[in-house]
Amino acid sequence: APYTAAGMDVKKIAHKWCTDYYQQHQTNRQVLKQVYKPDSKLTVTNDDFVGPDAIVEKFEQWPKDSVFQVVSFDAHQNMPNGILAFVMGKLVFDNGANEQRFAHVFQFIAESEAAFYIQNEIFQFINFG
Amino acid sequence: MSAQLNPQYEQIGKAFTDQYYQMFDNPATRANLQQLYNAEQSLLSFEGQQMQGAVKIMEKLGGLTFQKIQHLVTTVDCQPMFDGGILVNVLGQLKTDDDPPQSFMQNFVLKPSADSFFIQHDVFRLVLHNVAA
């Protein structure tokens, strides 16, 4: 049975997954390897990274004290077991001295009611306007 | 389910984005956007407001209150999806009438249909300068 069946609050589920993801990003990025599979793909600043090791290695290059602040959040059910999440936010780092606006898109796939993995992910800094 | 990744995802995603904004920005062709949406399946979130199906989507887009609009795309990122779809993330600026330019984010998920694609998902947000409390 699909875990994201009609009637479930898609936005609430995806928001929890994103919150957990950002929390993990801020505390221990290595643990994020659990949410990617070998063919998961991340596109970040015009480069593609495939699989948990490559993806997390890229994230480890970011400042260690990065804090994600979500400004807007949208979610749509997609595919029988999937939720698309669309985030716009600010990445705050250097102890609050610097911040960068970003756009972040996820295709989450639900493996069970509690477990998800990320099949597609696009992250882009908003450096204009 | 084995993946059906479309190898031309980048080309299709970028060409689609160009076509979409050209159609949108020209008042003579804006109504033709309806052809890109599916009667039942397309889902639009416009600044947090959700609507489904081509008719309701076009009601929203056709009811926007500006005389002139121009989209200027800064970045387009595409990825192939495992069901043959194409995920497109667009960042850019838009200018309506004599207002100052505003930054926007728009995401499309294109789904194959016959020998073309339709917009299965469309999410539009203006980029705010200040984080809401």
Contacts of A84 in chain B (CB under 8 A): 87, 107, 109, 121, 123
Residue B104 burial (CB count, 10 A): 23
Contacts of B87 in chain A (CB under 8 A): 84, 105, 107, 120, 122
In which residue are the tokens 């505003």 written?
B102
- pLDDT-derived band at B109 (thresholds 50, 70, 90) equals very high
**What ipTM did this prediction achieve?**
0.93
pLDDT in tens, chain A (129 residues): 344 445 568 999 999 999 999 999 999 999 999 999 999 999 998 899 999 999 999 999 998 899 999 999 999 999 889 999 999 999 999 889 999 999 999 999 998 877 899 999 999 999 876
Residue A119: which of B116, B81, B9, B5 has the closest Cα? B81
Contacts of B118 in chain A (CB under 8 A): none
- Whether the CB of A45 is below 8 Å from some CB of chain B: the reply is no
Cβ–Cβ of A129/B101 closer than 8 Å?
A: yes
What global pTM score does this model have? 0.94
In which residue are the tokens 């260690």 written?
A64
d(CA A76, CA B72): 26
Which of A43, A88, A90 lies at the smallest CB-CB distance from B105? Answer: A88
Contacts of A122 in chain B (CB under 8 A): 77, 79, 87, 89
Residue A14: which of A84, A61, A67 has the closest Cα? A84
| Average pLDDT of the residues in B8-31 | 97
* Residue B128 DSSP code: P
| Average pLDDT of the residues in B85-97 | 97
d(CA A69, CA B8): 34
CA nearest to A106 within chain B? B87
Cβ–Cβ of A76/B127 closer than 8 Å?
A: no
d(CA B54, CA B60): 10
B65 Rama sector, left if φ>0, alpha if ψ -120 to 50, beta otherwise: beta
Give the pairing type, strands A47-50 and A36-44.
antiparallel
Cβ–Cβ of A86/B125 closer than 8 Å?
A: yes
